[in-house]
């Protein structure tokens, strides 16, 4: 945790309290903070800031001089459509995408998504994984997460409304690399005197990627199939490599 996020109910200016056991353990065992030390905190859905530890008990850490005066970082202007992965991978992916600042996440069914994945109890713990990602990335605003169990109706009826400026689908056998695609966008922006804009939607498959039928449906909705090199990466690696482009641009704006 790079900051401790608290619900609004735990804040009563100029005081606040930490009651979640995992956060209390982190402050005591990982940060090794004592009474009088300053702690980075944030209000879920609100601002970031600091507070001073006033008292420490086994089930409660009282904070004083709470200052929440720093706005959270801007979200990445992107919607990630992700084929629901194996449950044990899901936690890492939600944490990583949240820490990176993804604005919207759509977990979708795919041909290679096993039906049992949709019954995983981890799907009921998405808020927990989001909180971990927010505390890692020092953010307070949760991404919007939606579940779509029917692939074709979603792609045909809803995907187009999410695409505000271009869309890509990650596919290891795409004819064009992601780098070439970005260079093309850059050239087009120079010729039209408009700012280079990254795609608003990224579609990423789980293990085994998308099948040809799915790629074709994405293509019909305007998604360009691109690859990120000759290496076949795990979903977690592909997500971080691709979204790194948005993170870099966000920090340049």
Domain of residue 31, residue span: 4-70
Residues 111 and 227 in one domain: yes
Burial annotation 197-235 (CB, 10 A radius, 16+ → b, else e)? ebbbbbbbbbeebbeeebbebbeebebbbbbbeeeeeeb
pLDDT at 72: 96
Residues 46 and 131 in one domain: no
Encoded tokens for 225: 């199939």
pLDDT at 225: 93
pLDDT in tens, 9-24: 999 999 999 999 999 9
pLDDT at 185: 79
Q: Which residue has the tokens 């093309």?
A: 184
Q: What is the pTM of this model?
A: 0.90
Domain of 198, CATH number, reads 3.40.1280.10
CA-to-CA dists, residue 180 to 33, 52, 174, 213, 225, angstroms:
49, 50, 11, 24, 12
Residues 65 and 80 in one domain: no
Are 4 and 40 in contact, with CB atoms under 8 Å apart? yes
pLDDT at 204: 94
User: How far apart are alpha carbons 90 and 99 in whole angstroms?
Assistant: 14
Encoded tokens for 22: 């995992």
Which residue stretches of the chain have pLDDT < 50? none
């Amino acid at each position: 945790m790079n900051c401790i996020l608290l619900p609004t109910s735990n804040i009563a200016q100029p005081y606040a309290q930490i009651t979640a056991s995992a956060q209390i353990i982190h402050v005591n065992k990982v940060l090794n903070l004592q009474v009088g030390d300053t702690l980075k905190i944030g209000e879920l859905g609100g601002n970031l800031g600091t507070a001073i530890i006033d008292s420490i008990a086994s089930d409660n850490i009282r904070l004083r001089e709470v200052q929440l005066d720093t706005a959270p970082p801007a979200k990445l202007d992107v919607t990630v459509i992700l084929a629901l992965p194996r449950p044990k991978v899901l936690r890492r992916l939600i944490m990583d995408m949240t820490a990176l600042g993804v604005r919207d996440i759509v977990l979708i069914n795919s041909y290679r998504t096993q039906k049992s994945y949709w019954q995983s109890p981890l799907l009921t713990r998405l808020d927990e994984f989001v909180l971990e990602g927010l505390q890692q990335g020092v953010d307070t605003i949760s991404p919007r997460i939606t579940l779509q169990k029917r692939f074709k109706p979603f792609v045909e009826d809803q995907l187009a409304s999410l695409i505000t400026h271009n869309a890509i689908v990650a596919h290891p056998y795409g004819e064009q690399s992601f780098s070439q695609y970005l260079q093309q966008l850059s050239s087009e922006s120079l010729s039209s005197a408009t700012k280079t804009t990254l795609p608003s939607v990224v579609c990423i498959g789980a293990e085994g990627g998308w099948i040809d039928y799915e790629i074709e449906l994405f293509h019909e909705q305007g998604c360009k199939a691109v690859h990120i090199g000759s290496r076949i990466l795990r979903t977690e690696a592909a997500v971080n490599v691709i979204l790194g482009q948005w993170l870099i641009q966000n920090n340049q704006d």
